[in-house]
Structures are given as C-alpha cells and as structure tokens.
Amino acid sequence: MDPKELTIKLGLEFNSLEEAYLFWTDYGGMKGFGVRKKNSSNSKKDGSITHYKYVCCKEGVRQYDKRDPKTTNPEAETRTGCMASMKVKRFNEKYKVIEFFYDHNHPLHPPETVHMLACQRRITEKQAYELEVAEDVGIQQKVLFDLMSKYVGGRENLGYTWQDAKNYLNSKRRRDMAYGEAGCLLQYFQQQLIDNPSFFHAYQIDSEEQITNIFWADARMLFDYQCFGDVISLDTTYCTNGDHRPLAIFSGFNHYRGGVIFGAALLYDETIDSFKWLLETFLQAHSKKRPQTVFTDKDQAMARALQEVISETKHGLCTWHIMKNGIKHLGNLMKDESNFLSDFKKCMYNNKEETNFEASWRTLLLKYNVEENTWLNSTYQIKEKWAACYMKYAFTLGMRSTQLSESINSDIKSCTRPNLNINQFFKQFERIVKEKRYSELKQDYEMRQKLQRMIIQSSPMIRQLSQEYTPPMFNLFQREWDLIAATNINKKQRNGSSW
C-alpha cells in the first residue's frame, strides 16, 4: 500500500479482519513501531467476531513470574504499557475503525531498523522455496542470505532476517524428521522404488528390531557395475554423523577413467560381521558378479570379510592410505629435509622385480635405523597387497588407490557433516551422484564434438581407433604404440636353426 494512503481516521472501512491487520502492520512500519493483535469480541448469536483490537507491540507490562529471582540471565523487558491502538467493529460485511489512539510512550524506530521488527518480517512462499532449494544443493545459509539481500538492494528490503531463515529451515528439518530416522529411511527407499522399480536397497535389523546396516544402489549404479565393475574400490573412511557411523562407497573407473559409484552403505560399525553383510548384499544387488580386484584401506576386519566372502578376488591396499598412515606413524623420520618419504615411495612403486624390492626395503630399514619399527614390519607382512612387483600381475586397470579422484573425496565430505540429518544426507549424496553423471555426459559431448589428436596421421588403424575409443583410452593406446615403435633389440641369441 502507498505510504501516502496510510492514514487512520474514524470510520475507515476494511473488507476483512486480515485486511485491517495488514493495514495496521503497514502503518506501524511507516511510523516506526511494531504491532500485534490484542483481543476480540464475539457475537452471542452466531459466534462471529464483531470487534477486534490491534495494539502496539509494547502494549501492557510483563506479568510477574515466580521464576524471575532464580533466572540467571532473564530476557530484557520490552513492554512499556503503550496505549497506541486501533479498534474495528463489524457493520454488515465491513469492518470500520471506531477507536484509535496514536500516542506512544517510547521511542519510535527509524526507517533503517524498521525491517528488524517481528511484525515486519515474513518469509514468502517463493523465499521459502529458495531457502529449501539452496539447502538441497549445499549452499550455505549465510551465503544465500547475502545473495538474496544483494538482489533486493539491501537487508532492509529482504523481508526477513538471517535468524528467520535459520528458524524456518530448522523447523522444516524437524517436520521432515517427524517419523524418526528409520521412518525417513523407509520413506526415502519407498519413493525411490516408485520412481524406478530397479532401485535396490537392503537393511539389517538387530535383535531389538533396530536398523543397523543399510545398503542401496540405484538403477544406473547397477548398470555401471556390469560395465565397469571388474576393478573396484571400497572406502569406509567417511563418517556421516557425530556417532562416527561410517559411510561405505563402492566405486571404480568408467570408460573416461572418471570416478563412478556402484553403491553405498551406512554401517553401524566396522566389524567383520558388518563387512560380511555388506559384501554379500553388494553381490546380491549386482547379480552375484564378482570383481577381479578390490582396493581397500588397511582394515583387518574388512580384509577378513573379503577373504571369507570373495576369496577368489585379488585384494589390493590403497597406496594413498598407506602413505597417509606412514606420515602419521613415522612423521619423526620426515623432519629436517629427510628423504624417507621419497625412499618409501620408491620401494612401493619403482621395483618391478621381487629381488629388487627386497633389496630396496632392507636398504630403507638400515638407512633410517627402523628395523624394529612395528608399523613398517606389519606393513611389510602384507607387501603382496601393495608393492608394485607383486601387484603387476593383478588386473587393476591402472588403479592403485581408493582415491579415484580428488573430486569424489571432496564432494563426499560435503554430505558427511555431523550436523546433517538423514534426509539432508540423501539429498546431498544424490546431488554428488548427479554431478558425476553430468560430468560423464559432458565428456560424451566433447567426444562427439572434437576430433582426437593422432600422433600417426597416416595409419588406418589409429584413425579407426580414434573414432572408437574414448580420449583417455585412445591416448593410452597411442603412448603404448609409440613405445613399441621406439623399441630396439639390444641382444640376439641364436638357438639351433632359429633366432
């Protein structure tokens, strides 16, 4: 309403009580005071409202509370007994102003602070939708609030405060969790099945009928595993809440050597039984197809479960986790420009023959005087799971780590914050999966749009492969082909009549 029209006089008419209160609110905003509803009178005939009184927010005084003397930090007093008010009465289908008091006994707010009054703050349906969408895609509340304020020319024009936004989202979370964590889980899985009947999920219940372990894989994950599931990574280093319940991610490489997720699980703990259930459920979801190689971190319970469930699968250790644990346990050896870390990497990656590895390992222990180091000795006992000379015969597709890409790790961390409830977690997880799939779609576009660079322009075979292979695979083949062309025979030995 135009501020020039906000003039109160006796006999002023309104079509409804809502219109009257909105007028009183706008009037208070123009003058600089907050408003609220006081009381009403009802008709004895039909119970309808005949009178309604609207007052200043500082009307009345705070009633005495017996708890006040015991309150360490009582709330500040806001009531001053202000008499400013407007009273309306119903005449036929209209409401008219029959009483109006303007005088206030307190300072009025300047225009710069009027937007902070409670009656001037309201979140519209459009703003509520924006807040919900922003939370779903992981935008921080403060960032969104600043962005929305910029759009409307300042916080005073936004219509709500940052605290209002926080309160709204907190209320929504409580409503979403009305059925508890287990109820929300079942609702989520039910909706996924409605959207796509191929969606797979399973959960384990303990003796007290409480849900413990949960596994799920959507239709695309099931399809991707059939195509790319020969070598997988199982990472359980993420925690989803303050109770440190692990999130397990099954992942691998796609035809662009990008990270692709085959399934996920929320585990109750990291025991042998939990991992056995997880692996058995994973195989059930993927039609019993077993991977040829699986990479994990150095977890003994997981290693035991892998041996019992898929013993024929090659078990490799994540080299990234080994290096990380090495820094944790042997940090004292890496001070003062020490070369221990680089020497350790050479033992891991550079020795293609077992005799060379053994020699390098002994040299490492003697050089740094760590022959009795417990961590190094325990790591050496499982050398066949991480040393290059032992892993060279395993089918790995070039994977040596559960760290398929830094982007997967950084994205997963965004949905494993301790303050996320189960609904927020699933929304964030779905967002990450969609981002990975869109990245693959973008690579499909790039492959169709751009011609691949050929090292040998005149070769018909190379030209054909450039049209069939994805860019990463084609570049890998070209490098190998180039190495073949550069091969020289250093020694010939004649055996009988043949060379």
Per-residue pLDDT of the chain in tens (499 residues, 90 and over written 9): 554 457 888 999 999 999 999 999 999 999 999 999 998 998 888 888 999 999 999 998 877 665 556 666 777 888 999 999 999 999 988 999 999 999 999 999 998 899 889 898 888 888 888 888 887 777 777 888 888 888 888 888 888 888 888 888 877 767 766 566 778 888 889 999 999 999 999 998 877 777 889 999 999 999 999 999 999 989 886 665 445 678 889 999 899 988 899 999 988 888 999 999 999 999 999 999 999 999 988 888 999 999 999 999 999 998 888 888 888 888 888 887 788 888 998 999 988 899 999 999 999 999 999 999 999 999 999 999 999 999 988 998 888 765 554 456 666 766 666 667 788 888 888 888 998 899 899 999 998 888 888 888 888 888 899 888 999 899 888 888 888 877 777 777 766 655 4
Q: Residue 286's pLDDT is what?
A: 96
pLDDT value of residue 238: 67
How far apart, in whole angstroms, are the C-alpha atoms of residue 345 and residue 354? Answer: 15
pLDDT at position 364, please? 92
Closest CA to 53 of 22, 80, 88, 20: 88
For the record, the structure tokens of 36 come out as: 């609220």
**What is the reported pLDDT for 228?**
94
Angle formed by the axes of helices 460-468 and 471-485, to 10°?
160
Query: What residues contact residue 228 under an 8 Å CB cut-off, 6+ apart?
Result: 252, 253, 254, 255, 260
- CB-side neighbour CA atoms (13 Å) of 497: 0
Helix or strand holding residue 384 (H, E): none
What DSSP element (H or E) covers 266?
Answer: strand 259-266
Q: In terms of C-beta density within 10 A (0-12 exposed, 13-18 middle, 19 or more buried), how is residue 472 classed?
A: middle
The whole model's pTM is what? Answer: 0.72
Number of residues in the chain: 499
d(CA 122, CA 125): 10
pLDDT at 389: 92
CA distances from 347 to 193, 208, 338, 463 (A): 49, 50, 16, 39
CA separation for the pair 191, 183 (Å, rounded): 12
Cβ atoms of residues 83 and 101 within 8 Å: yes
Residue with tokens 């309808």: 48
Number of CB atoms found within 10 A of residue 391's CB: 21
- How far, CA to CA in Å, does 104 sit from each of 25, 55, 472? 16, 11, 75
The amino acid sitting at 22 is L
Q: How many whole angstroms separate alpha carbon 395 and alpha carbon 21?
A: 74
Token digits of residue 434: 């969609």
Q: Are 199 and 219 in contact (CB under 8 A)?
A: yes
What pLDDT shows up at residue 246?
A: 84
CA 427 to chain CA centroid, Å, is 7
Q: Can you give the pLDDT at residue 414?
A: 63
What is the pLDDT at residue 497? 56
Residue among 211, 244, 267, 178 at smallest CA distance from 418:
244
Q: Which two tokens stand for residue 130?
A: 């924006």
Q: Are 203 and 253 in contact (CB under 8 A)?
A: no
Res 405: pLDDT: 45
Q: What is residue 32's DSSP assignment?
A: T
Pairing state of beta strands 49-56 and 35-42? antiparallel
pLDDT of res. 406: 47
If one counts every other C-beta atom within 10 angstroms of the C-beta of residue 219, the result is 14
